[in-house]
Amino acid sequence: MSRKESKTLNKECSPVKTALLYLAIWEIVTMILWLFTAKLFVIYALFAVGFTVLYPVCTCWLCFRFARRFGVKWYLTPVMIAVSVVEYILLEEFSSVVPNFIVMTILCSGFASGIGSCFADSEAINAAKREKQLRKNKKEAEYKNILDD
């Protein structure tokens, strides 16, 4: 498969499915960091590197990549923030050791989504908008006025 064909296949993916995939990857990385730094190896240096370097880089990279492909959508960044709030409330180590976990998630995801939208592929976003408008117009075209008979 050529590079151009793989790019067109990537553009055809649903933004919702891609957002779910990115959320799953982000959550797996977060849980692995949490497991290794707060449960298995309780070493402050490892924890500091994990949640002050690796976690923000992963969050920024995923949000930037999604926003660059699909533009800013409501179902990635707010869901990441909501998941981090739930983790902060439910998991003891997140609330006791990482007081800025939610703030870091908000800043990294918001900043990366904004920068990614600057580099977004406007042709793909406009094509998706046009396709949505065509579907809407097609539904409206099926309506037939009774008085026209």
Describe the crossing of helices 101-118 and 77-90 by its angle, rounded to 10 degrees.
Answer: 170
Number of domain units in the chain? 1
Q: Please give the biggest Cα pair distance in the chain.
A: 80
Q: What is the mean pLDDT of the chain?
A: 79
Confidence of residue 1 (pLDDT cuts 50, 70, 90): very low
Angle at 74 between CA 132 and CA 89, to 5 degrees: 155
- Does residue 76 form part of some domain? yes
Q: Give CA–CA dist 106/78, Å, rounded.
A: 9
Q: Tell me, what amino acid is at 32?
A: I
Radius of gyration of the chain from Cα atoms? 21
> In this predicted model, what pLDDT tens digit does every residue of 106-120 receive, in sequence order?
999 999 998 988 887
- Does residue 85 form part of some domain? yes
- Does residue 126 form part of some domain? no
> What is residue 143's DSSP assignment?
-
- Does residue 141 form part of some domain? no
Residue with tokens 């891609």: 18
- Does residue 92 form part of some domain? yes
Tokens of 71: 């533009």
Residue 65 has pLDDT above 70, yes or no: yes
- Does residue 147 form part of some domain? no
- Does residue 31 form part of some domain? yes
Give the range of the structural domain holding residue 46, as residue numbers without chain letter: 3-120
Q: Give CA–CA dist 41/36, Å, rounded.
A: 6
Outline where the chain has alpha helix (H).
3-12, 15-34, 44-49, 55-70, 77-90, 92-97, 101-118, 122-141
Beta carbons of 34 and 91 less than 8 angstroms apart: yes
Confidence of residue 95 (pLDDT cuts 50, 70, 90): low
- Does residue 90 form part of some domain? yes
Report pTM: 0.72
How much of the chain exceeds pLDDT 70, in percent?
Answer: 75
Q: Give CA–CA dist 98/96, Å, rounded.
A: 6
